Amino acid sequence: MGVVNVTPDSFSDGGAFLAPDAAIAHARGLVLEGADILDIGGESTRPGALPVDVQEELERVLPVLEGLAGEASGAQISIDTSKAAVARAALAAGASLVNDVSALRADPDMAALLADSAADCCLMHMLGEPRTMQGVGGVGGVGGPQYKDVVDDVRAFLEERMGFAVGAGIAEERIMLDPGIGFGKTIEHNLLLLRRLDELATLGRPLVVGTSRKGFIGRILADAAGAAEPAPVSARLAGTIATNVLALERGASVFRVHDVGPVREALTVAAATLGGRWTARGTGTTPAS
Protein backbone atom coordinates (compact mmCIF):
# COMPACT_ATOMS: atom_id res chain seq x y z
CA MET A 1 0.00 0.00 0.00
CA GLY A 2 1.73 3.13 -1.25
CA VAL A 3 1.16 6.38 0.65
CA VAL A 4 0.02 9.46 -1.27
CA ASN A 5 -0.25 12.37 1.18
CA VAL A 6 -2.08 15.31 -0.38
CA THR A 7 -1.39 17.44 2.69
CA PRO A 8 0.81 20.35 3.78
CA ASP A 9 1.60 18.92 7.22
CA SER A 10 2.18 15.15 7.13
CA PHE A 11 5.24 14.24 9.21
CA SER A 12 7.15 12.59 6.38
CA ASP A 13 6.40 14.43 3.16
CA GLY A 14 3.99 17.22 4.04
CA GLY A 15 3.61 19.63 1.13
CA ALA A 16 5.64 17.58 -1.34
CA PHE A 17 2.54 16.32 -3.16
CA LEU A 18 -0.06 18.95 -2.28
CA ALA A 19 -0.39 20.00 -5.92
CA PRO A 20 -2.66 17.51 -7.77
CA ASP A 21 -0.22 17.00 -10.64
CA ALA A 22 2.58 16.18 -8.21
CA ALA A 23 0.38 13.74 -6.27
CA ILE A 24 -0.79 12.00 -9.45
CA ALA A 25 2.77 11.66 -10.73
CA HIS A 26 3.86 10.32 -7.34
CA ALA A 27 1.03 7.77 -7.33
CA ARG A 28 1.97 6.57 -10.81
CA GLY A 29 5.57 6.21 -9.66
CA LEU A 30 4.49 4.10 -6.68
CA VAL A 31 2.59 1.78 -9.03
CA LEU A 32 5.72 1.37 -11.14
CA GLU A 33 7.58 0.45 -7.94
CA GLY A 34 5.02 -2.27 -7.26
CA ALA A 35 2.21 -0.76 -5.20
CA ASP A 36 -0.93 -2.90 -5.20
CA ILE A 37 -2.93 -0.23 -3.35
CA LEU A 38 -2.64 3.57 -3.49
CA ASP A 39 -3.77 5.18 -0.22
CA ILE A 40 -4.72 8.80 -0.91
CA GLY A 41 -5.26 11.11 2.05
CA GLY A 42 -6.06 14.79 2.41
CA GLU A 43 -5.87 15.13 6.19
CA SER A 44 -2.73 14.51 8.24
CA THR A 45 -3.05 12.07 11.15
CA ARG A 46 0.40 12.75 12.61
CA PRO A 47 0.55 13.34 16.40
CA GLY A 48 -0.84 16.77 17.19
CA ALA A 49 -2.43 17.24 13.76
CA LEU A 50 -5.45 19.52 13.63
CA PRO A 51 -8.64 18.46 11.82
CA VAL A 52 -9.47 19.57 8.28
CA ASP A 53 -13.02 20.42 7.22
CA VAL A 54 -14.87 18.36 4.63
CA GLN A 55 -14.62 20.92 1.83
CA GLU A 56 -10.88 21.39 2.16
CA GLU A 57 -10.28 17.65 2.29
CA LEU A 58 -12.39 17.15 -0.84
CA GLU A 59 -10.55 19.93 -2.66
CA ARG A 60 -7.27 18.17 -1.92
CA VAL A 61 -8.14 14.59 -2.84
CA LEU A 62 -10.77 14.74 -5.59
CA PRO A 63 -8.47 16.12 -8.33
CA VAL A 64 -6.03 13.32 -7.57
CA LEU A 65 -8.71 10.62 -7.57
CA GLU A 66 -10.18 11.97 -10.80
CA GLY A 67 -6.72 12.16 -12.35
CA LEU A 68 -6.11 8.50 -11.60
CA ALA A 69 -9.59 7.33 -12.57
CA GLY A 70 -9.73 4.87 -15.40
CA GLU A 71 -6.01 4.14 -15.48
CA ALA A 72 -5.36 0.46 -16.10
CA SER A 73 -2.61 0.24 -13.52
CA GLY A 74 -4.11 -2.68 -11.62
CA ALA A 75 -3.71 -0.84 -8.33
CA GLN A 76 -6.66 -0.51 -5.99
CA ILE A 77 -7.46 3.06 -4.96
CA SER A 78 -7.94 3.71 -1.25
CA ILE A 79 -9.21 6.89 0.39
CA ASP A 80 -7.68 7.62 3.78
CA THR A 81 -10.51 9.42 5.57
CA SER A 82 -12.85 9.23 8.54
CA LYS A 83 -15.53 11.42 6.95
CA ALA A 84 -18.46 9.78 5.17
CA ALA A 85 -18.90 12.73 2.81
CA VAL A 86 -15.30 12.43 1.64
CA ALA A 87 -15.52 8.65 1.37
CA ARG A 88 -18.75 8.92 -0.66
CA ALA A 89 -17.18 11.33 -3.15
CA ALA A 90 -14.02 9.24 -3.37
CA LEU A 91 -15.95 6.04 -4.08
CA ALA A 92 -17.88 7.87 -6.81
CA ALA A 93 -14.53 8.98 -8.26
CA GLY A 94 -13.17 5.43 -8.45
CA ALA A 95 -11.85 4.47 -5.01
CA SER A 96 -12.83 1.02 -3.78
CA LEU A 97 -11.32 0.96 -0.28
CA VAL A 98 -11.88 3.28 2.69
CA ASN A 99 -9.03 3.45 5.20
CA ASP A 100 -10.69 4.83 8.35
CA VAL A 101 -8.26 5.52 11.20
CA SER A 102 -11.23 5.98 13.54
CA ALA A 103 -12.58 2.47 12.83
CA LEU A 104 -16.06 3.87 12.02
CA ARG A 105 -16.25 5.95 15.22
CA ALA A 106 -15.74 9.47 13.88
CA ASP A 107 -18.72 9.70 11.53
CA PRO A 108 -22.02 7.94 12.27
CA ASP A 109 -22.81 7.75 8.55
CA MET A 110 -19.65 5.87 7.55
CA ALA A 111 -20.80 2.35 8.43
CA ALA A 112 -24.03 2.65 6.44
CA LEU A 113 -22.16 4.10 3.47
CA LEU A 114 -19.77 1.15 3.43
CA ALA A 115 -22.57 -1.36 3.94
CA ASP A 116 -24.41 0.03 0.91
CA SER A 117 -21.31 0.06 -1.28
CA ALA A 118 -19.11 -2.71 -2.57
CA ALA A 119 -16.04 -1.08 -1.07
CA ASP A 120 -13.48 -2.69 1.20
CA CYS A 121 -12.53 -0.99 4.46
CA CYS A 122 -9.65 -0.87 6.89
CA LEU A 123 -10.41 -0.42 10.59
CA MET A 124 -7.55 0.95 12.69
CA HIS A 125 -6.92 1.22 16.41
CA MET A 126 -6.15 4.68 17.76
CA LEU A 127 -6.22 5.93 21.33
CA GLY A 128 -8.15 9.20 21.19
CA GLU A 129 -7.56 11.36 18.12
CA PRO A 130 -4.43 12.67 16.35
CA ARG A 131 -4.41 15.90 18.36
CA THR A 132 -4.39 14.07 21.72
CA MET A 133 -3.34 10.47 21.04
CA GLN A 134 0.18 10.79 22.46
CA GLY A 135 -1.15 12.07 25.77
CA VAL A 136 -0.26 15.77 25.81
CA GLY A 137 -3.18 16.92 27.90
CA GLY A 138 -5.35 14.36 26.17
CA VAL A 139 -6.73 10.88 26.48
CA GLY A 140 -3.37 9.22 27.15
CA GLY A 141 -2.63 11.44 30.15
CA VAL A 142 0.40 13.64 30.75
CA GLY A 143 2.64 10.59 31.03
CA GLY A 144 1.65 9.33 27.60
CA PRO A 145 -0.58 6.50 26.33
CA GLN A 146 -1.35 3.75 28.84
CA TYR A 147 -2.76 0.24 28.47
CA LYS A 148 -3.26 -2.72 30.78
CA ASP A 149 -1.81 -4.93 28.00
CA VAL A 150 -1.50 -3.12 24.69
CA VAL A 151 -1.80 -6.27 22.55
CA ASP A 152 -4.83 -7.59 24.42
CA ASP A 153 -6.45 -4.15 24.42
CA VAL A 154 -5.85 -3.56 20.71
CA ARG A 155 -7.07 -7.07 19.84
CA ALA A 156 -10.26 -6.57 21.85
CA PHE A 157 -10.84 -3.20 20.19
CA LEU A 158 -10.36 -4.55 16.67
CA GLU A 159 -12.60 -7.53 17.40
CA GLU A 160 -15.31 -5.21 18.72
CA ARG A 161 -15.06 -2.83 15.76
CA MET A 162 -15.15 -5.71 13.28
CA GLY A 163 -18.26 -7.01 15.04
CA PHE A 164 -19.81 -3.56 14.82
CA ALA A 165 -19.01 -3.33 11.12
CA VAL A 166 -20.48 -6.75 10.37
CA GLY A 167 -23.54 -5.89 12.42
CA ALA A 168 -23.96 -2.73 10.34
CA GLY A 169 -24.05 -4.83 7.16
CA ILE A 170 -20.41 -4.75 6.03
CA ALA A 171 -19.34 -8.18 4.82
CA GLU A 172 -16.50 -9.60 6.93
CA GLU A 173 -14.49 -10.52 3.84
CA ARG A 174 -14.32 -6.80 2.95
CA ILE A 175 -12.63 -5.84 6.22
CA MET A 176 -8.92 -5.33 6.94
CA LEU A 177 -7.56 -4.57 10.42
CA ASP A 178 -4.73 -2.23 11.45
CA PRO A 179 -3.23 -2.17 14.99
CA GLY A 180 -2.34 1.51 14.53
CA ILE A 181 1.41 1.52 15.09
CA GLY A 182 2.32 4.96 16.41
CA PHE A 183 -1.27 6.02 17.02
CA GLY A 184 -1.51 6.55 20.76
CA LYS A 185 1.38 4.20 21.59
CA THR A 186 4.79 4.51 23.16
CA ILE A 187 7.90 2.98 21.60
CA GLU A 188 7.47 -0.11 23.78
CA HIS A 189 3.80 -0.41 22.83
CA ASN A 190 4.75 -0.35 19.14
CA LEU A 191 7.43 -3.00 19.64
CA LEU A 192 5.11 -5.24 21.65
CA LEU A 193 2.46 -5.05 18.93
CA LEU A 194 5.01 -6.02 16.29
CA ARG A 195 6.46 -8.76 18.48
CA ARG A 196 3.04 -10.28 19.17
CA LEU A 197 1.36 -9.51 15.87
CA ASP A 198 0.47 -13.19 15.47
CA GLU A 199 -2.05 -12.75 18.29
CA LEU A 200 -3.90 -10.20 16.17
CA ALA A 201 -3.70 -12.43 13.11
CA THR A 202 -5.99 -14.89 14.91
CA LEU A 203 -8.85 -12.46 14.22
CA GLY A 204 -8.85 -13.94 10.74
CA ARG A 205 -8.67 -10.79 8.64
CA PRO A 206 -5.78 -9.29 6.64
CA LEU A 207 -3.56 -7.22 8.93
CA VAL A 208 -2.34 -3.84 7.73
CA VAL A 209 0.91 -2.56 9.24
CA GLY A 210 2.01 1.06 8.95
CA THR A 211 5.46 1.61 10.43
CA SER A 212 6.90 3.56 7.51
CA ARG A 213 9.36 6.29 8.58
CA LYS A 214 7.64 6.64 11.96
CA GLY A 215 9.08 8.39 14.97
CA PHE A 216 9.69 5.29 17.07
CA ILE A 217 12.15 4.07 14.43
CA GLY A 218 13.97 7.40 14.59
CA ARG A 219 14.11 7.22 18.36
CA ILE A 220 15.46 3.65 18.41
CA LEU A 221 18.19 4.58 15.94
CA ALA A 222 19.08 7.68 17.96
CA ASP A 223 19.31 5.72 21.21
CA ALA A 224 21.56 3.16 19.54
CA ALA A 225 23.84 5.95 18.32
CA GLY A 226 23.76 7.86 21.59
CA ALA A 227 22.15 10.84 19.87
CA ALA A 228 19.79 13.24 21.60
CA GLU A 229 17.45 13.81 18.66
CA PRO A 230 15.58 11.11 16.70
CA ALA A 231 17.13 10.05 13.41
CA PRO A 232 15.63 12.14 10.59
CA VAL A 233 12.86 10.78 8.38
CA SER A 234 15.36 10.34 5.54
CA ALA A 235 17.36 7.88 7.67
CA ARG A 236 14.49 5.56 8.61
CA LEU A 237 14.23 3.31 5.54
CA ALA A 238 16.30 0.45 6.99
CA GLY A 239 14.18 0.48 10.14
CA THR A 240 11.02 0.54 8.05
CA ILE A 241 12.21 -2.51 6.11
CA ALA A 242 13.13 -4.37 9.31
CA THR A 243 9.73 -3.79 10.91
CA ASN A 244 7.84 -4.82 7.78
CA VAL A 245 9.82 -8.02 7.29
CA LEU A 246 9.20 -8.96 10.92
CA ALA A 247 5.51 -8.12 10.51
CA LEU A 248 5.31 -10.39 7.46
CA GLU A 249 6.78 -13.26 9.45
CA ARG A 250 4.18 -12.68 12.17
CA GLY A 251 1.16 -12.62 9.91
CA ALA A 252 0.74 -9.18 8.32
CA SER A 253 -0.22 -9.11 4.65
CA VAL A 254 -0.69 -5.41 3.77
CA PHE A 255 2.16 -2.96 4.28
CA ARG A 256 1.47 0.78 4.19
CA VAL A 257 4.74 2.44 3.13
CA HIS A 258 6.22 5.52 1.49
CA ASP A 259 9.16 3.66 -0.10
CA VAL A 260 7.34 0.97 -2.07
CA GLY A 261 10.21 -0.36 -4.19
CA PRO A 262 12.80 -1.28 -1.54
CA VAL A 263 10.20 -2.52 0.96
CA ARG A 264 8.56 -4.71 -1.66
CA GLU A 265 11.91 -6.20 -2.64
CA ALA A 266 12.69 -6.97 0.99
CA LEU A 267 9.29 -8.60 1.48
CA THR A 268 9.71 -10.65 -1.69
CA VAL A 269 12.99 -12.10 -0.41
CA ALA A 270 11.60 -12.59 3.08
CA ALA A 271 8.53 -14.40 1.76
CA ALA A 272 10.72 -16.72 -0.35
CA THR A 273 12.93 -17.42 2.66
CA LEU A 274 9.87 -18.29 4.74
CA GLY A 275 8.77 -20.72 2.04
CA GLY A 276 5.96 -18.62 0.64
CA ARG A 277 5.37 -16.25 -2.22
CA TRP A 278 4.69 -12.51 -2.12
CA THR A 279 1.23 -11.42 -3.29
CA ALA A 280 1.03 -11.18 -7.08
CA ARG A 281 0.80 -7.54 -8.13
CA GLY A 282 -1.65 -5.99 -10.51
CA THR A 283 -4.76 -7.88 -9.40
CA GLY A 284 -6.56 -4.81 -8.10
CA THR A 285 -7.83 -6.84 -5.15
CA THR A 286 -7.18 -6.88 -1.45
CA PRO A 287 -4.89 -9.70 -0.26
CA ALA A 288 -7.01 -12.48 1.19
CA SER A 289 -6.56 -13.90 4.65
- Enzyme catalytic residues: 214, 256
Q: Using CA atoms, how far apart are residues 169 and 115, in angstroms rounded to an integer?
A: 5
The CA-atom distances, in angstroms, between 68 and each of 27, 49, 82 are: 8, 27, 21
Q: For the packed helices 20-33 and 54-68, what is the interaxial angle rounded to 10 degrees? A: 50
Chain center to CA of 226: 30
Question: Based on the number of CB atoms within 10 Å of its own CB, is 234 exposed (0-12), middle (13-18) or buried (19 or more)?
Answer: exposed
Q: Using CA atoms, how far apart are residues 24 and 260, in angstroms rounded to an integer?
A: 16
Q: Using CA atoms, how far apart are residues 285 and 96, in angstroms rounded to an integer?
A: 9
Lay out the sheet containing 76-80: strands in order across.
Answer: 2-5, 37-41, 76-80, 97-100, 120-124, 175-178
